[in-house]
Structure 1
Amino acid sequence: MLLAIDIGNSNIAFGIFEGDWQEHWRLNTVTDKTSDEYEVLFRSLLLNGRENFDKVKQVVISSVVPTLSTTFRQMTGRMFGLDPLMVNARIDTGIEIVIDNPAEIGSDLLANAVAGYAKYQDQCIVVDFGTALSITIVGKGGKLLGGSIAPGLKSAMKSLSTNTAQLPFVQLEAPPSAIGKNTIHAIQSGVVLGYVGLVESLIKRIKAELGGAAKVIATGGLAEIIAPHTDQFDALDPWLTLDGLRLIAWRNALP
């Protein structure tokens, strides 16, 4: 049994794999929580999912929050007696990283690239709707070519409400019309529908630079907000990152 954990700036996603994904969970990221506090949460969710701790034989972690990397190594060591595989560009991922500085690639984006290429065995574009809007491009032969990064939906919404005196923080959902008849709908039009246009434009440009067709996968906790409003996605997989971690863990499993 494998436990995969993806530590992001806004959410911590994790799941149990045994033949198939048995269960997935998503927690809010709290950077000053201790390993003991996170252990309480993990134990509670795993027990509610009726998972047997003793069956966990491998733990793989992606973290873009350095302060929590040590926290989770301590937690998983106590819970399972295992030293987790920490994903980075130096380990065997099965894909070639051809960006200027491979050490810069986020471990979550690396996992996305691995899962996307494994899914289609061809060039693909993975659009991850998280704290940041991150696009990862994989070319033919499984080469990670680069990416594109913009503020995420929540970041954009928070920026509006924080930096303007009269604009409220509103629900992230599409308005009934692109022409907002009130402040809430106007903000939803600008942020939600505006991001649809941003994503569609980037996908179009990336495909042109790739010189051919590419499969496009939407993932991340906020993917389901945008996906219904565009026809650009070939697949919607909110847990794609965890599947990439699973594949990386199998490549690096101890004999």
Structure 2
Amino acid sequence: MLLVFDVGNTSTKIGLLQGRELSRHWDLSTQADRTADEWGIVLEVLFARAGRKFAEVDGAAIACVVPPALAAIERFVRRDLRSEPLVVGPGVHTGMPIRYENPREVGADRIVTAVAAHEEYGAPVIAIDFGTATTFDVVDAAGAYAGGVIAPGVGIATEALFEHASRLPRVEMLRPPRVIGRNTVQSMQSGILYGFAGQVDGIVRRIRQELGAEARVVATGTYAELVSQASETIDAVDPFLALKGLATVYRRNRATGS
């Protein structure tokens, strides 16, 4: 079995794959100071609840955008799983050419998401990740990572509205019953949801225009399902895109002996 970690700024997604099948998955808050011992305790509990054992794991892959968190996960994998983890980064074979001016600037999470989107949905494709930031990652018709767009995330925008407008409350992000809100909460929910859906549709249309192709659009991340309900351009929602991409990159590196 393969154990994969997608460590983001806000949450850490963990997956356990049997072959190509994602058999178990967990979503934890990202804690940059979590130690290798703490990782061992957390994973031991999760594995026990899933009826699994560390001895069943024969490989691990990590995508991490929080550098302080990486070393502890690597130590846990080496010590408790007795395996050398594959850490996605510069020099790792992804099977996808990177057209960025400086490929080292592209986050590992964005690369594995693009790899999975290409493998699952073909090319050209646009992968939108609704995480701490909202990122658009573009794979062109040739299967290369063409670049993308980075915008503020839904959570960041919602929190900023609460913090900087003294009379507005903190709201739960839900789809309101109508666009025209009949109270403050509904009005805020409408502005956030339809504002982000409009942003998505506008950016996607401009990307498609630059590509000269009707690229498919797949969404992932915390708010993917919600925003997709109001979007006119999102074709599919795949909550496990990054975990699938990690597994694909792992297989490609093992196949090349890297």
**Is this contact kept in 2: 1:174–1:193, CA < 8 A?**
no
What is the one-letter code of the residue matched to 1:165? Answer: S
Moved more, 112-121 or 140-149: 112-121
1:183, distance to aligned residue in structure 2 (A): 1.4
What is the one-letter code of the residue matched to 1:28? Answer: S
Q: Give me the TM-score of the superposition, normalised by structure 2.
A: 0.95
What is the one-letter code of the residue matched to 1:186? Answer: S
For residues 141-164 of structure 1, the C-alpha deviation after alignment (integer angstroms, 9 at most, x for no partner) is 211010101111111111111222
Identity %: 36
**Is this contact kept in 1: 2:124–2:213, CA < 8 A?**
no
For residues 66-110 of structure 1, the C-alpha deviation after alignment (integer angstroms, 9 at most, x for no partner) is 110112111222220112110014211000001111000010100
Unaligned 5+ runs, structure 2: none
1:45, distance to aligned residue in structure 2 (A): 1.0
What is the one-letter code of the residue matched to 2:83? Answer: L
Tell me the distance in 2 between the aligned counterparts of 1:53 and 1:245: 19
RMSD of aligned alpha carbons: 1.3
1:176, distance to aligned residue in structure 2 (A): 1.3
* Residue 226, structure 1, aligned to residue 227, structure 2: yes
Secondary structure at the aligned position of 1:150 is classed as: strand
Q: Give me the TM-score of the superposition, normalised by structure 1.
A: 0.96
**Is this contact kept in 1: 2:114–2:145, CA < 8 A?**
yes
Moved more, 185-194 or 95-104: 185-194
1:52, distance to aligned residue in structure 2 (A): 2.4
The count of corresponding residues between Structure 1 and Structure 2 is 255
Q: Could you say which residue in structure 2 is the equivalent of 1:2?
A: 2
Q: Could you say which residue in structure 2 is the equivalent of 1:59?
A: 60
Tell me the distance in 2 between the aligned counterparts of 1:7 and 1:39: 16
**Is this contact kept in 2: 1:129–1:152, CA < 8 A?**
yes
Tell me the distance in 1 between the aligned counterparts of 2:17 and 2:151: 31
For residues 106-148 of structure 1, the C-alpha deviation after alignment (integer angstroms, 9 at most, x for no partner) is 1010001111111233210000011110000000221101010
**Is this contact kept in 2: 1:89–1:110, CA < 8 A?**
no
Secondary structure at the aligned position of 1:168 is classed as: coil
Secondary structure at the aligned position of 1:242 is classed as: helix
Tell me the distance in 2 between the aligned counterparts of 1:193 and 1:231: 11
* Residue 209, structure 1, aligned to residue 210, structure 2: yes
Q: Could you say which residue in structure 2 is the equivalent of 1:11?
A: 11
Q: How does 1:167-186 map to 2 (within 5 A)?
A: 167-186=168-187
What is the one-letter code of the residue matched to 1:199? Answer: V
Q: Could you say which residue in structure 2 is the equivalent of 1:132?
A: 133
Unaligned 5+ runs, structure 1: none
Tell me the distance in 1 between the aligned counterparts of 2:193 and 2:161: 13
**Is this contact kept in 2: 1:134–1:147, CA < 8 A?**
yes
**Is this contact kept in 2: 1:134–1:149, CA < 8 A?**
yes
Tell me the distance in 1 between the aligned counterparts of 2:223 and 2:90: 26
1:243, distance to aligned residue in structure 2 (A): 0.4
Tell me the distance in 1 between the aligned counterparts of 2:228 and 2:63: 25
Secondary structure at the aligned position of 1:253 is classed as: helix
1:222, distance to aligned residue in structure 2 (A): 2.0
Q: How does 1:6-85 map to 2 (within 5 A)?
A: 6-19=6-19, 20-85=21-86
Secondary structure at the aligned position of 1:27 is classed as: strand
What is the one-letter code of the residue matched to 2:28? Answer: L
1:214, distance to aligned residue in structure 2 (A): 0.7
